[in-house]
Amino acid sequence: MGRKLLNIPEEVVEQSTLGIYYIQDNGVYGRSGSNDGSFGYLTKNSSGTNYYNNNTSQTGYTIKKANSYLRVRFTAQGDHGQTWRSSALLLKFTTNNFTNSTTIGGFGMTQYNGGHNNYGQSCCYERIWLHGSSVGTVYKFAIEESGQSSGTTWTYNNVNSGSDSNGGTQNDHGLIYGMNIRVEEIEAAQVSQFSGYNTFASGG
């Protein structure tokens, strides 16, 4: 017998989410080459388009309604094959096709196991804010990275147990979908604003 976990009327669900944008790639990404708090965009180590850098040709998300909220969820997987690695990732957005950009947030990834091989870590970040943009504004997204110079993480969006090179040999665990960006626009009436500072000072 099945049961509903969330008993939300269908009309409420339809009205609360105005649109969804999703970036996901099964290719292996590599470090930016920037270290110790200096950030740069991720590189693409496998063939195909780099979806996570300042790619001006990406579709982006188009705002459907003024005075709504954006919810962005960002997950990443960092992998290696040596004793320890450490890095930080930042999620960026732009509304002017990367003439400049604004940091949404991010996380540090530390993989350490007392001098023994340790095969990576995944992290997740989420933020909701009142975007303040007009209808038709296009938001595009990118990921910046900074490695710890003594032991930088080498590969991202990769799931294996022994590679420690900038190429990073893939395997087929979950088809390598270890990194993604999910953007959702939500009706303001469905969000309880918890802070008077729940906006960005500039629109990137």
Nearest to 62 by CA among 185, 181, 187: 185
| Cα–Cα nearest to 138, from 70, 63, 65, 58 | 63
pLDDT for res 12? 46
More confident residue, 124 or 82: 124
**pLDDT grade for 61, boundaries at 50, 70 and 90:** very high
115: domain range? 17-190
Q: How many domains does the chain have?
A: 1
Asked, for residue 54, whether it belongs to a domain, the answer is: yes
What is the C-alpha to C-alpha distance for residues 93 and 100, in angstroms, rounded to an integer?
Answer: 9
CATH (domain of 29)? 2.60.120
Q: What is the pLDDT of residue 121?
A: 79
The answer to whether residue 27 sits within a structural domain is yes
Q: In this structure, is residue 53 part of a structural domain? A: yes
In a domain, 147, yes or no: yes
Residue pointed to by tokens 């001098």: 115
Q: Report the pLDDT value the prediction gives residue 5, as an integer from 0 to 100.
A: 47
In the chain, % of residues over pLDDT 70: 73
Residue 10 has pLDDT above 70, yes or no: no
* pLDDT confidence band for 139 (50 / 70 / 90): very high
Has residue 60 been placed in a domain? yes
pLDDT, mean of residues 192-197 = 64
pLDDT over 90 for what percent of the chain?
48
Count Cα atoms within 13 angstroms, Cβ side, for 80: 23
pLDDT of 133 reads 95
Q: How confident is the model at residue 167 (pLDDT cuts 50, 70, 90)?
A: low
Q: Closest Cα to residue 60, out of 153, 136, 114?
A: 136
Q: Is residue 159 included in any domain, yes or no?
A: yes
Query: Is 199 within a domain?
Result: no
Q: pLDDT per residue over 101-112, tens digit each?
A: 999 999 988 877
Q: 137 in a domain, yes or no? A: yes
